[in-house]
Amino acid sequence: MKKRQSWGIAFTYVGAVVGAGFSSGQEIWYFFARHQANGLLGVILVGISFTVLGPILFQLGKVLDIESYHRLFYNFLPAPLPLLFDLIYGFFLLGSVSVMLAGSGVVFSNLLGFPYFTGVLVAFVFVLVTLYLKVEGIFVVNGLLIPFLLLTTIITVVNYLSFTGVEQFKTLLIIKPVKPDWLIDALLYVSYNLVIAVAAMTGIVYREEREDIIRGSSWGGGLLFLLNLIIFMGLITAFHSSPQEEIPMFYLALKGGKVICLSYILALYFAMVSTAIANYYAFTRRLISLIKIKYESGLLISGLFVLPLVLSGFSTLVEKLYPIFGYLGFYILGYFFILYLREKVFS
């Protein structure tokens, strides 16, 4: 067991989940903060799910000796279900990467004053350069970017709460009526993100020791819970209705002055890039297995599928794609757990 590898897995897990929607605050507002007090229950439920279910799902490829997520379909499901699940997963990955690149464009245009597509192309090139180094490159990049994201998010929200007061946060948690839709949103959030993470992590951790996979995934789930909770606290305090900003967390960062503001812009961009890296890698591996081309060529060809979706815009993609993928993800996650239980209990 190597703690360095475990941390590499943990940071890569976080990197596969956080991104444009998560770190900007769009996801956290839509799925949690808009539910006020009940949203906190959703945050806790999602945190437990990420910490407990992540290790189970990510070691599935190791348990079944399968290196790529699509083999889990074709090896165990009757036709035509493998093809259907494979297509759904392809759209999952394409949608996720497009959200990350669209968010990168928003950062460059709205926050830095550069053209939208400049941000998209810079992120795209960064993704390609990292993935030319394959798994080692993914571990190194996430090991640098994710701690910076975590630290910057904590500083941004704590600084904001120091101005508004924690008491306001406590008041907001107790005055809102109970509504049942928080549970649906929390389950959708878990479903979508875990389905995407399985695709990214299966190929990345396949050659790692099983103990490292379990430990790293548990640590990663804990870090995701911490990030989710921190951003939730900031958003529920800052906004009493749907934010007009495409990047709600930037409003909080503005209260901290230039240093915090610039740090958060950088952290947000890193979060988007790290998620794009994980999901672009999974999509490319699937593409090259279909058309039998070299890995390096596949990296470039994958861009032909991803870049057109970026034209849809950032917030539109978050609100439209994520809930749809969440519902579809319930079926795929159920299938994964059946496979795991069959192997662990009945084999």
pLDDT average, residue stretch 86-115: 81
Nearest CA to 180 among 35, 326, 33?
A: 35
Average pLDDT, rounded, for the chain = 82
Cβ atoms of 335 and 116 within 8 Å: the answer is: no
Q: What are phi and psi of 37, to 5 degrees?
A: -60, -40
pLDDT of residue 248 exceeding 60, the answer is yes
Structure token digits, residue 219: 């640590």
Averaged pLDDT for residues 132-161: 88
Give the separation between CA 98 and CA 52, rounded to whole angstroms: 28
pLDDT digits (tens, 9 = 90+) for 256-314: 888 998 898 888 888 888 888 888 988 898 889 888 889 889 999 998 888 777 765 54
When computed from its CA atoms, the radius of gyration of the chain, rounded to whole angstroms, is 19
Sign of CA dihedral 232, 238, 243, 244: negative
Q: Report pLDDT for 175.
A: 46
Mean pLDDT of 184-204: 85
Return the pLDDT at 208: 85
Which domain range does residue 104 map to?
Answer: 3-345
The dihedral over CA atoms of 248, 249, 253, 255, expressed in degrees to the nearest 10, equals 50
Of the given ranges (24-28, 97-101, 138-142, 162-166), which has the lowest mean pLDDT? 162-166
Rounded Cα–Cα distance for residues 102 and 123 (Å): 10
So what's the pLDDT on residue 231?
93
Residue 345 has pLDDT above 60, yes or no: no
Span 27-85, pLDDT tens digits: 898 889 888 888 899 999 999 999 999 998 888 878 777 777 788 778 877 788 888 88
Q: Name the pTM for this structure.
A: 0.84
Count CB neighbours of 335 within 10 A: 16
CATH number, domain at 67? 1.20.1730.10
Question: Which backbone phi and psi does 256 adopt, to 5 degrees?
Answer: -100, 5
User: ∠ CA(198), CA(127), CA(199), 5° rounding?
Assistant: 10
Instruction: Supply the pLDDT for residue 49.
Output: 94
pLDDT of residue 107: 80
Q: What would the mean pLDDT of 220-243 be, rounded to a whole number?
A: 90
Q: How many domains does the chain have?
A: 1
